[in-house]
Amino acid sequence: MKLVLFDCDGTLVDSQNVIVAAMSRAFDRAGLVLPPREAVLGIVGLSLVEAMRQLGDDDPDFPAEQLAELYRGAFRELRTEPGFVEPLFPGMRGVLDRLIARDDVLLGMATGKSQRGVAAVLGHHGLEGRFVTIQTADDAPSKPHPAMVLQAMAATGVEAADTVLIGDTSFDMVMARAAGARAIGVTWGYHAREMLAQSGAEWLVSDADGLMRAIDEMWEEVP
């Protein structure tokens, strides 16, 4: 049996506009200046408090925990407003459909989102029940710590050699390799392909068809 783990933001769904909007509200309510958009998107994938710490350059006086709570509130507000959307990236529903139809594949998720946030995304897109294990910021240390991948493997009984993580950030690639799993980097997300390659991606793919080809090639390599 093979385990295919997906990151969420930047890999399955395009949430960048919502993330920046929620960050803007959080920083404004804290009376702080929002960092540049590139900096905000560069920390996507980390757990919220760790993300805020990085945006604050690890200053011990920076209100990371307060900002994390303000961000959660802002995101919940945005979710109730007209026009809110976290669309699936092109072709990703088809990828999930093709993988779920295979009898040798289990699907899982490893994401910096909360369980509540994941449930909202899956419910919106009608993807409930597709993922047999969902590891989130509620359940493990922040990426790139390998705990999410290790816990997913333990929950499914799949060995590291038969596990692959698909993600869009260097945090994903480092996490996967630290857990002994394989790693596929998608280039439509938040980190540049050079960062993904330097962080341990075995494959770099630029679209959904390329992702399926990479998965098929990987299965051919692993007995």
Report, as residue numbers or ranges, the catalytic residues. Answer: 7, 9
Q: CB within 8 A of 94, min separation 6: which ones?
A: 208
Sheet of 105-110: strand order equals 133-135, 105-110, 2-6, 163-167, 182-186, 203-205
Number of other residues whose CB lies within 10 A of the CB of residue 156: 19
Residue with tokens 């710590």: 145
The DSSP code for 161 is G
The H-or-E segment that residue 168 falls in is none
